Structure 1
């Protein structure tokens, strides 16, 4: 799959994909006549990068995870610890966002009631 297709599939820019490759998070990506040709393995790796990034994992930690993943099965306990720690952090962030959303929904209801009792014009 070419970089333009990958960019569209994951809704990220081509320069971002190139950056991930340059930083060693992806690849090296196989090239055909100088054009990147992403394999299913590359796409799975990119999906992992984007998912963990959305969950708040810093790129440095994602890079570390990928490095130890490539070292083999002896790193499974460390990988599990990293993923579990990130899950706890993500759940905490979600709880905070849920509280903020609840607050905003209540505030909206209050302001809507005010707007209904004070019609303009």
Structure 2
């Protein structure tokens, strides 16, 4: 699949896709005649990285994860720890976000009941 097709499919720019590869967020993409040829495994990496970046997992962390993946099976425990640490961080953020949502809902309900001028 061409870079333009991948960009369209994932709502990214070609610049972003090239950056993902250059920064080590995804493994190197096969090239045919100097042009990137994205395969299914590349698309899976892109979907994963896009999802992780949406929740602000740092580029450095994702690059480390990708490097460990490329280093082979012996890095499985380290890769799992990276994902586990990020899940714990996101779970805390989710709790904080839920507390804020609850506060806003209470405040809006007070407005609706006419308790706030």
TM-score (structure 2 length as normaliser): 0.85
The one-character-per-residue Cα deviations of 1:25-74 (angstroms, maximum 9, x if unpaired) are 23432334443221111111112212222333200010011111111111
Moved over 6 A (4+): none
Unaligned runs of 5+ in 1: none
Q: Which has the larger radius of gyration?
A: 1
Paired residues of 2:26 and 2:66 also in contact (CA < 8 A): no
Aligned to 2:23: 23
Q: How many residues align?
A: 117
CA RMSD of aligned residues (A): 2.2
Indicate the SS of the match to 2:49.
Answer: helix
1:39 aligns with 2:62: no
Question: How does 1:30-69 map onto structure 2 within 5 Å?
Answer: 30-69=30-69
Mapping of 1:1-121 within 5 angstroms? 1-114=1-114
- Where do 5+ consecutive residues of structure 2 fail to align? none
Shift of 1:16: 1.1
TM-score w.r.t. the length of structure 1 is 0.82
